[in-house]
Amino acid sequence: MKEIGGYLEFEDLGGREYYPGLMKLNLGRTACTFYLKGTGVRRLYMPVFMCESLTDAVREAGIEVIFYDCDRQLMPVPSSLPAGPLPDDECLFLCNAYGQLENDLILSFRETYRRVLADNTHAFFQAPAPGVATLYSVRKFFGVTDGAYLATDVPLAPPEERDESHARFTHVLGRYERDAGTFYRAMLDNAHGYEGAPVRRMSRLTENLLGALPYGEIEEKRKANYARLAQKLDRHNPLSFVFHTPCGGPFVYPFYIHDGPAARKALAARKIFVPTYWNNVIRDARPGSVEADYAANILALPCDQRYGPEEMDTVAEAVLACL
C-alpha cells in the first residue's frame, strides 16, 4: 500500500531526458557487459587507451579481451586488428576519446567489422550512429553519481532490479555548498563502491535529475568554453593539429604538454584540478607508445557548464605559465 502523508521527499522535477528512448542502466561498465552478454559476444577487441575499470568488468563477465593499438589521432591501427568482418561472437569496441570519432568514421568501422560497440562516454551530445550499439555514462557530464544509457537495435529485456542512488550523493551535494577537497575522499569511496556492481536499471533519483537539466544551455556553454580555450591555447598545443573540435558539447579541452605530471601539480597549486585519466595505461602500456605518452601528458582541461570566459582565461593563463 502506498504511503500517504508524513514528511516530504525530494521533488519530482518533471522535464525530459536527452535520450528518453535509450535503455537506462546504472553504470557504463554494466551497460557494456549487459550488451555483450545479451548478444552472445565472447571476444572483445579493445584499445590499449582504456580505463581498467571497464576492461576488468568485461573480463569478470567471462569475455576475452584482446587489445589493439591507436595512432596519434586515437584511431585504431588496422595492423593490430583482425581482418573483418568479425564472427557473431566477436565485437570491436571503439572508444570515442575526447569526441574524436565522428559518426561517419564509426559507421565505416561497422561496415568493415560488422559488430561494433561505440563508447560515447566522452561524447554525450553525439547521437548514436545509426545501427551501432552505443554507450553513454552521464557522470562525466552532469552532477549525478551514476547512470548510463545504452543504444541498441537488439531487443534486450532490461534488468528487473532498479538501482538506488540516494546514499551516493554526499560528495555531489557537499561540493555544491563547500569545496572539492572537503569531499574528495567521499568521491573516491563512491567510485570504489562500483567495483563488482551488478547491472541494474537507472535509479529513480538519477532519472529524475537528468530529466530536469537544461541540455541546450549546457551544450552551448561547453562549446563556448572550449572555443575560448582553443583561442588562447591552440597555437601552443601540438594536439590542435591532431584533434578536431568535437561536433557536440565537448567533454574537455585536451592540451598536450611535455611533462603532464608536473603541470598537473602546478595547476593544482592554483586550485585548478586536472585529473589523470587512464593511470593504468601509464603503468601498463609499452614505454614510448602513443598511449603511454597521451595518458601521461594530455591535460584534460575543464570546459564544462559551471564556468564561463573568466574561468577559461584563468585556466589558459595557468597552462601557459607551465610551458
pLDDT tens per residue, range 139-152: 999 999 999 999 99
Can you give the pLDDT at residue 15?
86
Is 2 contained in some domain?
Answer: no
Task: Please tell me whether residues 206 and 57 are part of one structural domain.
Answer: yes
* DSSP class of 291: H
Position 51 in a domain: yes
Residue 81 scores a pLDDT above 90: yes
Within a domain: 14: no
Write out pLDDT tens, residues 197-230: 899 999 999 999 999 999 999 999 999 999 999 9
Task: Go through 65-93 and write b for each residue having 16 or more CB atoms within 10 A of its CB, e for each that does not.
Answer: eebbbbeeebebeeeebeebebeeebbbb
Mark whether 141 and 81 lie in a shared domain: yes
Cα–Cα–Cα angle for 245, 234, 139, rounded to 5 degrees: 45
- Domain span at 158: 23-210
Q: Which three cell numbers stand for residue 41?
A: 559476444
Residues 272 and 205 in one domain: no
Do 135 and 238 lie in one domain? The reply is no
Q: What confidence tier does 266 reach under pLDDT thresholds 50, 70, 90?
A: very high
Q: Which of these three, 163, 186, 210, is where a domain ends?
A: 210
> Cα–Cα distance between 202 and 109 in angstroms, integer?
30
In a domain, 7, yes or no: no
Q: Is the dihedral of CA 270, 273, 277, 281 positive or negative?
A: positive
Q: Which of 193, 210, 227 is the last residue of a domain?
A: 210
Q: Which of 194, 210, 226 finishes a domain?
A: 210
Of residues 191 and 51, which shows the higher confidence score? 51
**DSSP-assigned states of every residue in 231-280:** HHHGGG-GGGGTSPPPSSS-SEEEEE-TTHHHHHHHHHHTT-------HH
Q: Are residues 104 and 249 both part of a single domain?
A: no
The cell numbers describing 131, all together, are 545501427
Q: Over the stretch 50-79, which tens digit does the pLDDT of each residue have?
A: 999 999 999 999 999 999 999 999 999 999
299 with 205, same domain: the answer is no
Q: Is residue 75 part of a domain?
A: yes
Contact 203, 147 (CB under 8 A): yes
**Which CATH number characterizes residue 98's domain?**
3.40.640.10
* Polymer length of the chain: 323
Evaluate whether residue 269 is within a structural domain: yes
Both 56 and 187 in a single domain?
yes
